Amino acid sequence: MIVFDRPKALLDVPFHYCPGCTHGIIHRLVAEAIDELGIEGKTVGIAPVGCSVMAYDYFACDMIEAAHGRAPAVATGVKRSDPDNLIVFTYQGDGDLASIGTAETVHAAARNENITVIFINNAIYGMTGGQMAPTSLPGQVTQTSPYGRDVKACGYPVRICEMLSELEGPEYLERVTVNSVANVRKAKAAIKKAFQNQIDGKGFSLVEVISSCPTNWGMTPKEALKWIDDNMIPYYPLGVYKDRSAGILGAADAKKEAK
Amino acid sequence: MTREYLFAGFGGQGLLFSGKVLAYKGLIEDKNVSWLPSYGPEMRGGTANCSVIVSDDPVGAPIVLNPDVLVAMNLPSLDKYESAVRPGGTILVESSLIARKVTRTDVNVYYVPATKLAEEVGAPQLANMILVGKMLSVFGEYNEETVSAALEKCISARHADMLELNRKAMETGKNYTE
Amino acid sequence: MAEKVLMKGNEAIAEAAIQAGCRHYFGYPITPQTEIAAYMAKRMPKIGGTFLQAESEIAAINMVYGVSSAGKRVMTSSSSPGISLKSEGLSYLAGSDLPALVVNAQRGGPGLGGIQPSQSDYFQATRGGGHGDYHMIVLAPSSVQEMADLTIRGFELADEYRMTAMILADGTIGQMMEPVSFDFKFKEVPEKPWATTGTKNARKHNVVNSLYLNPEQLEKTNIERYQRYEIIKEKEAMAEEYLTEDADIIVAAFGIAARVSKNAVNAARAEGIKVGLIRPITLWPFPEKVFAKAADHAKKIISVELSMGQMIEDVRLATACRVPVELCSRVGGMIPSPDQVYNAIVEAARKGGE
């Protein structure tokens, strides 16, 4: 009999996330990957500032809460403290990774730091109540772009996978989403690969997960999942942007998915 | 006894190195010593100086404002520090580069054409060590054993060939008479 | 006894750190402390350690945060503007009760300021620097030997009390060479059961964290931390007293200012003036008792600083304003001369009878 169980790497505590938020799914995928690879006892996770700030309460492995945007630097320190025996991952949102922590992200990637980065892109600051994110779409209405993101005044969204793919450093960059069963499966495979790469000593592996924020997008959870398809993915195409071991060496030969 | 030295000149003339040899010699002779460079954005050219204190007592302030001994390796340095030397102090002038004479009459002055002498030894970059050799002999403190030991501390094994050259330069300075 | 070698103050810090078992250094170039990074860059790869030039001061202090979380001795160094950048990390280290050693070879400020020596980060260091209620242990070396000694001590104190120890040096002590001997007896590094070294599936997960959304809990954490600070204030304050016993005039100075002041005190003593020097070695905890005792007999205190007057406030607090305290200072990278301090002493002595 197959029983649908909680992964061991997740503690038995209820998430604080809003109904319909996809953080829960992604936490689960990370935990499943940890379970399947049998690395919980040697894994250290770094939580960001943002909605997933309390991820340290959910994962059963050792956890560190980092300052806003600094998780890749903290992860660098942890990994280098015991590179042969520790598996280190960061779990970061778009404000954390692509705005205040851009420098830490870019340089950890450039150094091909042997860590795993799970990047949640939902195009908004959730925890602080729905402000414009570096990844908010042009025209997107948020608390701090009430008339829609005006690219003349606030510039354009940052496409992290595309940007990092131009660096020599990183091993693996893939963008996935979790708005359907099929996509969740693909996301799981990508996350597991990002951990496996670290185990194999291949280096910096980042999985960008296009995520939803029904609360701050002002939608039902179902509408939010559709909005991902209709608005997010056209701007942030899914696919593998870099996979050195597989010969995908940058945006030019990225394997983008149609949809 | 405490003696305060100021080495001054262009960056690149080896002021810091000669100060270090002097300080190490002091350390080897069981004295208290300090060595302090001026530091700034320019690595070469520009003016640089180096304070060295050698004392029987613990060294207080490491900055030499009124030196007992001034080693002036260029004109701007002599212009700047001549008046700062303590009455009764000593000035060594690099006379191949400085044309003018010291105007003060209450100090002992030695003019040494150090660059010229260094060229004769075959090491034009060691004018600094010619001056240190002369300075030590003036004070009757040219102790061959501790000078050699100090040089060995300051010159890495990788540059062992420089050891003999430095010794020779110091020797030349010691024997130089105007 | 180990042979004495001539070494720059900054290099002495680096060598002492290595001898204390520090195998992780993260930094970013800034004058006048770069010798520390250069020394580490040379040595760490040869002894299986990590030297990493970070992309910024902010990244460097967060790498320190990571290594410290994992329970290892770790350090970073910088100079004033860089310490401002690190202040966020210093606050997080305090909030997460993590040990670390941070060196500030101070230069003149504010802003980009200059590159010459200064002591104008005294407030920043002794009051914590970043946001929130916290302290760092602040050690103020005044010789190259002390750069080494206090680095060792700093690591020990940081581990013992789970907090940051800062070496508050200046460009002069960092750049100068003096004889130094590395002849240390090391305390055993304490166990760190709280470290995130992986659960090995053998214990509950460890969490390194400074977030407490429940105010009662955050208050409790702060109060407990300050109880630890009280123990430190009681046990760890250090000062050198020089000719203070019969002194009518006390000069208060740390670091390079203390060396200048010692010359002035000696000169004034030679003139028969009863003057002594108190040199705080820990700036936090401030050696309050030494000053309180001196205030029983001193008629005047002169605070000699390379700032517009920062330590002077702690001197006044420690003496409860029982004795007038005057400032004798230079700023902007200038250093008071022994003559300037001597004149201040003579002036104080002249007025003393009035």
CB contact under 8 A, C31 and B37: no
Chain C hits for A87, CB-CB cut-off 8 Å, are 198
Q: Which range of residues forms the domain containing residue C337?
A: 239-350
The minimum CA-CA distance between C4 and chain B, rounded to whole Å, is 8
Please say if the pLDDT value at position B129 is more than 50: yes
| Angle (CA) A107 A158 A257, round 5° | 100
When divided into structural domains, chain A yields a total of 1
User: If we measure between CA atoms, which residue out of C139, C101, C109, C128 comes closest to residue C282?
Assistant: C139
Interface-testing mutation among B17, B32, B33, B63, with chain C (most C C-beta atoms within 10 A)? B63
Please provide the size of chain C in residues. Answer: 354
Q: What is the CATH number of the domain that holds A118?
A: 3.40.50.970
Neighbours of chain B (3+ CB pairs under 8 A): C
How far, in Å, CA of C121 to CA of A83, rounded?
36
pLDDT, residue B40, reads 60
Phi (first) and psi of residue A41, to 5 degrees:
-70, -15
Q: What's the average model confidence in pLDDT over C298-327?
A: 97
More confident: C133 or A251: C133
**Residues A125-153: what's their mean pLDDT?**
96
Identify the contact set of chain C against chain B, taking CB-CB distances under 8 A.
4-6, 31-32, 115, 171-172, 175-179, 256, 259-260, 262-263, 266, 335, 337-338
Position A185 in a domain: yes
Which residues are within 8 A (CB) of B12 and not within 5 positions of it... i.e. 6 or more apart? B44, B45
Enumerate long-range contacts of A137-143, CB under 8 Å, 24 or more apart: A137/A231, A137/A232, A137/A235, A142/A216
Helices (H), chain A: 23-37, 71-81, 94-95, 102-110, 151-154, 160-165, 181-199, 214-217, 221-227, 233-235
For residue B46, pLDDT over 70 is answered with no
CB contact (8 A) between residue C205 and residue A59: yes
pLDDT at residue number C1? 55
Do A61 and C70 lie within an 8 Å CB cutoff? no
Closest to C193 (Cα-Cα) out of C155, C232, C159: C159
Q: Do C250 and C112 share a structural domain?
A: no
For residue A181, is it within any domain? yes
Last residue of a domain, one of C186, C218, C236: C236
| Residue at A9 is within a domain | no
Average pLDDT over residues A136-162: 96
State the Cα–Cα distance between residues C353 and C346, nearest whole angstrom. 12
Domain end among C236, C271, C305: C236
Residue contact B34–C31, C-beta within 8 A: no
**Do residues C212 and C313 share a domain?**
no
Asked if the model's pLDDT at residue C243 lies above 70, the reply is yes
| Structural domains in chain C (count) | 2
- Check residue C354 and give its pLDDT: 44
Q: Is residue A211 part of a domain?
A: yes
Of the candidates C180, C210, C236, which is a domain's last residue?
C236
Element housing C138 (H / E): strand C137-139
pLDDT of A251 strictly over 90: no
Helix (H, G, I), strand (E, B) or coil at C45: helix
In this complex, is the C-beta atom of B86 within 8 Å of any C-beta atom belonging to chain C? no
Contact A65 C62 (CB under 8 A): no
Q: Which pLDDT belongs to residue B44? A: 55
Q: Please report which confidence band the pLDDT of residue B5 belongs to, taking 50, 70 and 90 as the band edges.
A: very high
Q: What is the pLDDT of residues C26-35, one digit of tens each?
A: 999 999 999 9
Q: Are residues C123 and C150 in the same domain?
A: yes
Set of chain A residues whose Cβ sits within 8 Å of the Cβ of C200: 41-42
Q: Give the domains, in start order, of chain B with CATH numbers.
A: 2-175 (3.40.920.10)
State the pLDDT confidence band at C141, using cuts at 50, 70 and 90.
Answer: very high
- Indicate the average pLDDT of chain B: 94
Q: Which long-range contacts (CB under 8 A, 24 or more apart) does B95-103 make?
A: B96/B127, B97/B73, B98/B72, B98/B74, B99/B75, B100/B75, B102/B78
Size of interface A-C (CB pairs under 8 A): 135
C207–chain A nearest CA distance, Å: 5
The per-residue pLDDT for C113 is: 94
* Beta carbons of A81 and A113 less than 8 angstroms apart: no
Instruction: Give dist(CA A58, CA A72) in Å, integer.
Output: 20
pLDDT for A146 beyond 90: yes
| Band (A256; pLDDT cuts 50, 70, 90) | confident
Cβ-Cβ contacts under 8 Å for A45 (sequence gap 6 or more): A55, A56, A59, A61, A62, A63, A64, A88, A89, A90, A91
Res C353: pLDDT: 43
Residues C44 and C186 placed together within one structural domain of the fold: yes
Interface of B with C in 128-167 (CB under 8 A): 153
Chain B touches chain A, with at least 3 Cβ pairs below 8 Å, answer: no
Query: Could you tell me the CATH number of the domain that includes residue C131?
Result: 3.40.50.970
- Does residue C92 contact residue A67 with C-beta atoms inside 8 Å? yes
Token pair belonging to B86: 């303590």
Q: Establish if A102 belongs to a structural domain.
A: yes
> Is the per-residue pLDDT at A4 higher than 90?
no
In angstroms, the separation between the Cα of residue C140 and the nearest Cα of chain B is 16
Q: What is the model's pTM?
A: 0.94
Residues C319 and C203 in one domain: no
Helix (H, G, I), strand (E, B) or coil at B49: strand
Mind listing the pLDDT tens digit for each residue in C220-231?
999 999 999 999
Q: Is the pLDDT of residue B41 over 60?
A: no
Structure confidence at residue B48 (pLDDT)? 85
Over pLDDT 70: what percentage of chain A? 99
What is the rounded distance in angstroms from the CA atom of residue A191 to the CA atom of residue A206? Answer: 8
With an 8 Å Cβ cutoff, are C335 and B59 in contact?
no
> For residue C27, which residues of chain A lie inside 8 Å, CB to CB?
none
Please indicate, yes or no, whether residues C185 and C245 belong to a single structural domain of this protein: no
Same domain for C297 and C221: no
The predicted pLDDT at position C12 comes to: 98
> Can you spell out the DSSP letters for B82-103?
GGGSPTT-EEEEETTT--SPP-
Task: Give a yes or no: residue A3 inside a domain.
Answer: no
Q: Are residues C188 and C278 in the same domain?
A: no
Residue C346: which CATH number?
3.40.50.920
CA atoms of C4 and B162, how far apart (whole Å)? 24
In a domain, A241, yes or no: yes
A91 belongs to a structural domain = yes
| B65 Rama sector, left if φ>0, alpha if ψ -120 to 50, beta otherwise | alpha
Question: Average pLDDT in the C41-62 region?
Answer: 97
Examine the domain organization and report whether C228 and C96 are in the same domain: yes
Whether residue C172 and residue B36 make contact (CB cut-off 8 A), yes or no, is yes
Within this chain, do residues C288 and C171 fall inside the same structural domain, yes or no?
no
Residues C180 and C195 occupy one common structural domain: yes
Average pLDDT over residues A207-231: 97
User: Does C208 contact A107 at a Cβ distance shorter than 8 Å?
Assistant: no
Contacts of A66 in chain C (CB under 8 A): 62, 65, 92
Amino acid at A177: T
> Which among B23, B61, B153 has CB closest to C259?
B61
Same domain? C168 vs C260: no
Q: What is the pLDDT of residues A50-91, one digit of tens each?
A: 999 999 999 999 999 999 999 999 999 999 999 999 999 999
Q: What is the mean pLDDT of residues B87-114?
A: 97
Where in the sequence is the domain holding A116, given as residue range(s)? 23-258
Q: Which residues of chain C are within 8 Å of residue A56 when distances are taken between CB atoms?
A: 207, 209
